[in-house]
A and B are shown apart, each in its own frame.
Chain A
């Protein structure tokens, strides 16, 4: 009998988190080592799965199925394809970084803090691995709870407002997801996402389903104009919370687009593609301009993060404009490839940037750009990493940011030149706010009182190095990810093109 590896991946962190909760406060070191060990186990499991993944097929692998609510046709059904597995790997990796980062700090109630992140990891893996829609929804909603508490308990000054807004906003989106799922259940009498994908639907209901899904996943992504919860949540969340939010939680929204919207309602997606492109472009440009005006470091990074997520939807929906149903060539999946790389690139870059801001805040307890100057002198190592991440964020060739945005812009260029011109403005804008920030914070004469800031050391340094490593690896050889995803993307393209009417 085969070990239920996916269930292990989901439930080991959750159960571990509960154990962490029960640990007495004083055994901090034991809890920390315990959490690190659990994260390493998760990581090892994901690496094992990634290694043994059969790349040629597109069907779900390592499937586990057990009746959960047989009366309602709800099953505990998990399985992974390339997209799920890659995102699971990403979340295990980022979670390992986060746990390492937390473990290196001394803080109040760190066992509860670690517990929240471990459980979050389990819930997110569950959401990515779920094949049953209700199971997906369960994990999707459950993942709100730890983050709500993390923001609310360990957050900044305005944390109550931010956590409440975060929860209510995403809950408001999620109910439309639930409605869409139940409507599809009404049609198929089951909850299997694969059945949903195979279901034939008329155009009218496809449009309504599209809007329902869009509200849920668009809020999570977040799409302009429903992004307003994210800056608040990012600014108030503790560093680790922001990292998780940017790196993984937003990806759940993107996952929803690729798993639900495109395969289930392809005709509506085609119909709405131009409007989605316009929304993405507004997000990319408008939010970047908003970022230009920020005086708070963390807010700036938060807006930049939203702006870059715009590339994900831009890439996805631009595909509809470049592909003709009959001719499929190497360029057809260009937009999708760009989006997928952007998911990974964005995860590493924005998590790294939030980590940098967190490290700065730890030392100076201010986030205002004007309070900083010349930290390159006391913190040379930190400053070079910070520079690298900001440049990667604005698309420096050789880094992951460049590859992703290049692919997307190339794809948009084939669609309509004007879109490409607008989208590429983003590179300029992100360089503007990024370099302006760098100029004020890193360069110049050292601000009074900042001469003796301690440079990064120990685990923080290692985590920064790892982030830089992954950003460069994706930037220099993106083929690894692309090859891994290719069969998935090809199938997705077929699903996108096949009319369901």
Chain B
């Protein structure tokens, strides 16, 4: 068989073989060489990223009897999550070493989850979508309980039960849809829906069930309550992974389904609008009252998802590219923030309280400056990238005539600014002694700075990434 036939599969194949290889390595390598797995995983992810990057120029292509699609957006997202994975491993390294988890489990579980996400991203059939989703979340349940503390076990159990519930919703929705249309391929099903006069209560019900699963995975109100507990219960390296990579996969999951759903359900726009505004409201208000950093971050994630949902609401032509752009910027910012947190703490103390940041900027000026960039970008202050992402969403909302939604979203942003500013104020305006030790090597602070400065550079030059997002969406959804 010629190589071209296998080309679109390269990222997945590489991933699968790497995982198998690292599993073997973990089994046969002596304990003192287990650290090698870290490098193996990094190399594997980089190779996957490289292959995916090269596939970005490929036109939309359906494989495996239409169960699997390779389009520019899928390739880009695969490349992006692989690079994200690299960064997550890099940041997680220190904490893993301190906690004596610097072995294979963390990496293998993350890679498995990454593999699941790659399938979700490329799924064009409900079954492959579901399988990918399960492959993505099952390792996450295990990852959360890696830290054998009561709260981690509790978090894992909560996530498991709720995750299973949402999967059940999804499956039920899918089976109803199959009953109505007799097909499970995404594109034909959506076409059947738009052409036929089958607008029965069963159809609406099935679409609602699917929507519930989508909102759950994105962590959108009213299916958001799991997020704070999971973030808080996980060890920092796990929160790092949970808070960044699955967001992208959930986005891909959402975009594949909403693309078909949006024209179908007339009330979907209103549902998404209310969900988005509630996200902003509950997320920001929830975050203000938290004293635990990770919990605060979870609420802030809910709030930021609100903007993504509001962008989604605007549909294919206007909204999806902006939603993608917003999400990318958010994930970069949150990665840097959690990465910065992972420098804090030692074997006995973990920096998960707001108090543990006190006086940090005062002592480590450069670290503090990068943190300021990250936080201001999360608020949405120019000239940082977060502002232009918010600007695009608001601008699109106004040109679609949803002026009042735009006003509400912006007002709630001001409410949200408070808790980000409080972190800056704790770090810089309190001269108190550091309560938690902070250590980082030159490489770590270097990568962290690049990560933070990326937000400044993307803010000064927002155009290239935006055009990229637009062309990705344009070429992937006709």
Contact = CB atoms under 8 A, between A and B. Distances in A.
Interface in B295-336: none
A71 B470 contact: yes
Contacts of B425: 152, 160, 163-164
B394 A179 contact: yes
28 contacts: A67-B463, A69-B463, A69-B466, A70-B463, A71-B467, A134-B391, A138-B383, A138-B387, A141-B382, A141-B387, A142-B381, A149-B372, A152-B424, A152-B425, A152-B428, A159-B429, A160-B430, A163-B429, A164-B421, A164-B422, A167-B417, A171-B414, A172-B411, A175-B411, A178-B391, A182-B391, A183-B403, A185-B395
B398 A186 contact: yes
A153 B394 contact: no
Nearest to A144: B381
Contacts of B414: 168, 171-172, 175
A179 B381 contact: no
B407 A71 contact: no
A148 B414 CA distance: 15
Contacts of B372: 145, 149
B462 interface: yes
Interface in A313-370: none
Contacts of A178: 391, 394, 410
Nearest to A153: B428
A385 B403 CA distance: 53
B65 interface: no
A175 B413 contact: yes
Nearest to A208: B403
B418 interface: yes
A160 B424 CA distance: 10
B395 A72 contact: yes
A168 B417 CA distance: 7
A153 B398 contact: no
A149 B410 contact: no
Contacts of B399: 186
B76 to A, nearest CB: 18
A142 B429 contact: no
A493 B403 CA distance: 32
Given A68-B463, A178-B410, 11 more contacts: A69-B462, A112-B365, A138-B383, A152-B424, A160-B430, A164-B418, A164-B421, A167-B421, A175-B414, A178-B394, A186-B395
A44 interface: no
Nearest to B395: A182
B119 interface: no
Given A70-B463, A71-B467, A183-B403, A142 B383 contact: yes
B429 A152 contact: yes
A443 interface: no
Contacts of B406: 179, 182
A497 interface: no
Contacts of B79: none
Contacts of B388: 69
A179 B410 contact: yes
B162 interface: no
A286 interface: no
A179 B462 CA distance: 20
A145 B417 CA distance: 13
A450 interface: no
A139 B388 CA distance: 13
Nearest to A173: B414
Contacts of A159: 429
Nearest to A152: B429
A182 B398 contact: yes
A279 interface: no
B455 interface: no
Nearest to A140: B382
Given A69-B463, A164-B421, A145 B381 contact: yes
B265 interface: no
Interface in B386-408: 387-388, 391-392, 394-395, 398-399, 403, 406-407
Nearest to B409: A175
Contact of B394 (A71, A112, A163, A182): A182
B208 interface: no
Contacts of B422: 164
B466 A71 contact: yes
A71 B398 contact: no
Closest 4 CB pairs of A and B: A138-B382, A175-B410, A152-B429, A69-B463
